[in-house]
Amino acid sequence: MNTEGIIAQIARIRELANALIEMELRKRSIQGIVPAHGDVMMFLFQQDKPVPIKAVVENVRRVKSTVTVMMNTLVKYGYVQKTPCETDSRMTYVELTSKGRKLRKDFDEISILLREKIYGNMAMRDREGLIELLTEMEQNIRK
């Protein structure tokens, strides 16, 4: 088996996964959301009060400028609201709006569908092993 094309293979899998997500979002008439918003939205679904943008950045492990652009898009479409910190003008809090919270069911359903497609009938021990190996690869490249 050729092990040299790993990045290209990961890119192809990501492209196919994104296409599936985009198709499901269109089917559900969800506008302004792209696959890259998934981690941000899933993190915000778990919050019961506004959180600093810094917490989102740390949780989704993306650079602040990328998360800021995502937040601006989500605000534009009415899924998220920003609130400046009253005591520190450098800090901004974000939280889902009621429109954003209403997407939870759709996100959960799309996530389940995606996992079913990705894993197929792969045994749980193989799934777990795959995640361990991918985590090791991610840590290796961060070094």
Same domain, yes or no: 26 and 43: no
Same domain, yes or no: 95 and 129: no
Same domain, yes or no: 38 and 94: yes
Q: What is the CATH number of the domain that holds 78?
A: 1.10.10.10
Same domain, yes or no: 37 and 94: yes
32: left (phi over 0), alpha (psi -120 to 50) or beta: left
Same domain, yes or no: 70 and 12: no
Same domain, yes or no: 21 and 11: yes
Same domain, yes or no: 87 and 113: no
Same domain, yes or no: 17 and 55: no
Domain count of the fold of the chain: 2
Q: Which domain holds residue 83?
A: 31-100
Max alpha carbon distance in the chain (Å)? 58
Same domain, yes or no: 56 and 90: yes
**Pick from 115, 102, 118, 97: which is nearest to 28 by CA?**
102
pLDDT in tens, the chain (143 residues): 777 888 899 999 999 999 999 999 999 999 999 999 999 999 999 999 999 989 999 999 888 888 889 999 999 999 999 998 787 778 889 999 999 999 999 999 999 999 999 999 999 999 999 999 999 998 999 88
